Structure 1
Amino acid sequence: MSLVSPEYIRYFYYGAIVIMIPFIISDLLKKKKEDKIDGTKHFKISVYNILIAIAMMVVLFFLINSNYPS
């Protein structure tokens, strides 16, 4: 996509995030139902994975935007 129109790549990323959020929520709801029925812990593991990914993105954001000389 960046080869076709590089000036709109940011908006494509924003659109992809908006489109993916309902899929993530529906998948989490499905895992929560399966956990209640089967007694597994897939939902809990998925939530932990999301939290770890958010923490890594926050750390990377602050590292990228720091004012230290490279």
Structure 2
Amino acid sequence: MNLKRTFGAILTILGIVGVIWGAYAFLAGGDSVGGVSVNQFSAAVPFVVGLIFLFTGISLVKATKDTA
């Protein structure tokens, strides 16, 4: 398996987790989420970082050719 494809899969999984966590923290409305106190505006940071990881991981997986 190609190293770029593996790294893309890891980035995609981290992106999905970041998007879900950011959305859940936003919907929690300022309550503690996973032991971390966040308000609605600071919940946008993991959401945006998760989106970046998600799209970068997907593009790495799609653009890397299988040479096996």
**TM-score bin (small chain):** 0.3 to 0.5
* TM-score (normalised: structure 1): 0.42
Question: Over alpha carbons, which structure has the higher Rg?
Answer: 1
Higher relative contact order (CA 8 A, sep 6+): 2
* TM-score (normalised: structure 2): 0.43
